[in-house]
Amino acid sequence: MSEFYRHRQIGYLTVVLVIALCILIALIMYMEGLNWVALAVLAILAVSLVFFSSLAVVIDQDTLEIRFGAGIVRKRFRLSDIESCGRVRNPWYYGWGIRLIPHGWLFSVSGLDAVEIVMKTGKTYRIGTDEPEALEAAIRRAIVH
């Protein structure tokens, strides 16, 4: 299977903040003793780091696929269902992660740049990226291929 595009963006700020918070919680538990609530928060933070620390985008002959972190959380789009795409810049308050925004769904781990794809059904999705020009060009090449 031939790939048109492959890129992984790492959410460095998120990674650093979550690791710092995990260290802080671990230090507090070390000094104050075992706390089950703190331990649960620590576990949730560690799992979220594995699942949402990066965003990979892969375009092959038939699909555009986005994968968060280890790849368990993913979304696939058939290229034949994509009508158009274009670069966009999200306002800071849209945040990161997977969320519903006024324009449709946003998938992002860092930064404000994204590529918006419009499906033939009219639904829109924004894929966060640190290389919007390259992603847009790859999607355009793939949907006319």
Q: Tens place of pLDDT for every residue, the chain, 145 residues?
A: 577 899 999 999 989 999 999 999 999 999 998 889 999 999 999 999 988 899 999 999 999 999 999 888 999 999 999 999 999 999 999 999 999 999 999 999 999 999 999 999 999 999 999 999 999 999 999 998 7
- Residue 126: predicted pLDDT: 98
- Residue 1: predicted pLDDT: 54
Give CA–CA dist 38/44, Å, rounded. Answer: 10
Give CA–CA dist 129/113, Å, rounded. Answer: 6
Q: Are residues 81 and 112 in the same domain?
A: yes
Q: Are residues 37 and 70 in the same domain?
A: no
* 3-class DSSP string for 11-30: CHHHHHHHHHHHHHHHHHHH
* Structure tokens that stand for 19 in this block: 């690791």
Give CA–CA dist 84/114, Å, rounded. Answer: 14
Q: Are residues 44 and 61 in the same domain?
A: no
Q: Are residues 46 and 60 in the same domain?
A: no
Residue ranges making up the domain that contains 32: 11-50
Percent helix, strand, coil in the chain, to 5, is 40, 40, 20
- Residue 70: predicted pLDDT: 86
**Number of domains the chain contains:** 2
pTM, to two decimals? 0.87
Token pair 């959410």 in the structure block, residue: 11
We report the CATH number of the domain holding residue 139 as: 2.30.29.30
- Residue 42: predicted pLDDT: 93
- Residue 20: predicted pLDDT: 96
Q: Are residues 72 and 112 in the same domain?
A: yes
Q: Are residues 64 and 37 in the same domain?
A: no
Helix axes of 36-52 and 12-32: crossing angle, nearest 10 degrees: 160
